[in-house]
Amino acid sequence: MTYKEILDKFIEISEGHNMVELVGYGDISDINTPDNEEPPVYPYVFINPINVSSGGKTSSINLNVICMTQTYDDQSSWILQQSNCLTILEDIIGKFSWSNDQTFDFIDISSPVIFTPFKERFSDDVVGMTAQITIEYDNLWTNCDRPIR
C-alpha cells in the first residue's frame, strides 16, 4: 500500500457518500468555501494531511478530516448540523475500516477517533465536525519492492 492508494480510497469513499456534495484535499488554507455556487455545495468534506510516520513494519498517516455545512443562525440548528456532520464522518470512517477490498486488509483506523465540533466564519458561516484520525498500515516490503541492492 502506498500513501496515494490509501488517500485515493479515502477520497473515493468520501465522494461516494450520498450526503456529501464536495470533497477537497490539502492544507487548511486550501479550503474552498463554495460561496459562489447557487445553491451552495454542502456538506463539504475536506481532508487535511498532518504527517506520516514509519516504524519498520508499520506506518501511519495522521489526518484531520473536516465535514462542514451551512446552517441557520441559531443554536439548535448548529447542534443539528454538527450532529449530521458527525454522522457523515462516522459513515466514511466505518466504510473505510470495513471495506470489502482485500487490498485493504492490512489497514486500520486507530481508536479512539477524536471528533471536535466547530462553528467558523470563512467567506460564509459554516458549522461542522473535525475528526483526527490515524490510518495504520503494514509495510509489505519484499526484496522485489526495494529500490536498493
pTM of the model as a whole: 0.86
- The helix (H) or strand (E) run that includes residue 119 is strand 114-121
31-35, 58-62, 106-110, 114-118: the lowest-pLDDT one = 31-35
29: which 3 cell numbers? 488554507
- In the chain, domain spans: 3-138
Banded pLDDT at 51 (limits 50, 70, 90): very high
Opening angle at CA 70, ends 64 and 73, nearest 5: 120
CATH topology of domain 3-138: Alpha-Beta Plaits (3.30.70)
Long-range contacts, 94-101 (Cβ 8 Å, 24+) = 95/13, 95/16, 95/17, 96/9, 96/10, 96/13, 96/135, 99/9, 99/13, 101/9
- Between 132 and 120, the more confident residue is 132
Determine phi and psi for 21, rounding to 5 degrees: -100, -25
pLDDT at 31: 85
Residue 32: pLDDT band (50, 70, 90) is: confident
Mean pLDDT in residue range 117-146: 81
Cα separation of 52 and 63, whole Å?
9
- Strands 22-25, 44-55: parallel, antiparallel or unpaired by DSSP? parallel
In whole numbers, what is the pLDDT of the chain averaged over residues?
A: 86
